[in-house]
Structure 1
């Protein structure tokens, strides 16, 4: 199980060891939270993510239905590329949702300090 922001995902398919948690979290965008499935494929060393809905989802169009993911992989991905499909999991009733980074300035400042400290430590080691 993978957790990004408040959403949890489980890997439902993986080809050629295509899933890399660090890369997935790094490329993840809030826009993808609305989708039921996320497909990640590798091309030229870069991970591309695309969202898909369950077939019976009201917002699903022909191209965004999970039943057409094979067409997407065939038409838009490099032949034989490594890829994975993750499915968004629902929270169980009574389970507390994890906190979400809200982008407030206090949280941003903490993140900046953390990364600044890491950069300084790296420079000191050299």
Structure 2
């Protein structure tokens, strides 16, 4: 697996669908709000990057809306069909 460092945090690239990772754009969007999440999911719509944080199933902060096991539902219901997206796992 490929690893990247963004804002001094190491991430494992779990998925990079359709070459969605733009490290400079992610650096601009990735604020300290996302520090707590186990996963960062980014998707592109209308040339704009959207980010969402997810937790591992065993994280005490996990809920229905941020459980990584529901990623497929999130992509299907909240993202443009066939959009470019990526999944990063905090190391």
**TM-score over 0.5 (shorter chain):** yes
SS in 1 for 2:24: helix
Q: Which runs of 5+ in 1 are unaligned?
A: 90-126
**Partners of 2:4 and 2:11 within 8 A in 1:** yes
TM-score relative to the length of structure 1: 0.68
Q: Superposition RMSD on alpha carbons, in Å?
A: 0.9
Residue 63 (structure 1) shift? 1.3
> What is the CA-CA distance between 1:4 and the residue it aligns to?
2.6
- Corresponding residue for residue 5 of structure 1: 7
1:73 aligns to what SS in structure 2?
A: helix
Q: Which residue of 2 aligns with 1:108?
A: none
SS at match of 1:47: strand
Normalising by the residue count of structure 2, what TM-score does the alignment of the two structures yield?
0.93
Q: Give aligned pairs, total.
A: 89
Gaps of 5+ in 2: none
Point out which structure has higher relative CO (alpha carbons under 8 A, 6+ apart): 2
- The alignment status of 1:55 with 2:54, answered yes or no, reads no
Residues 32-65 of structure 1: CA deviation (Å, up to 9, x unaligned) = 0100000000000000000000011100001111
Distance in 1 separating the partners of 2:28 and 2:9:
15
More helix per residue: 1 or 2? Answer: 1
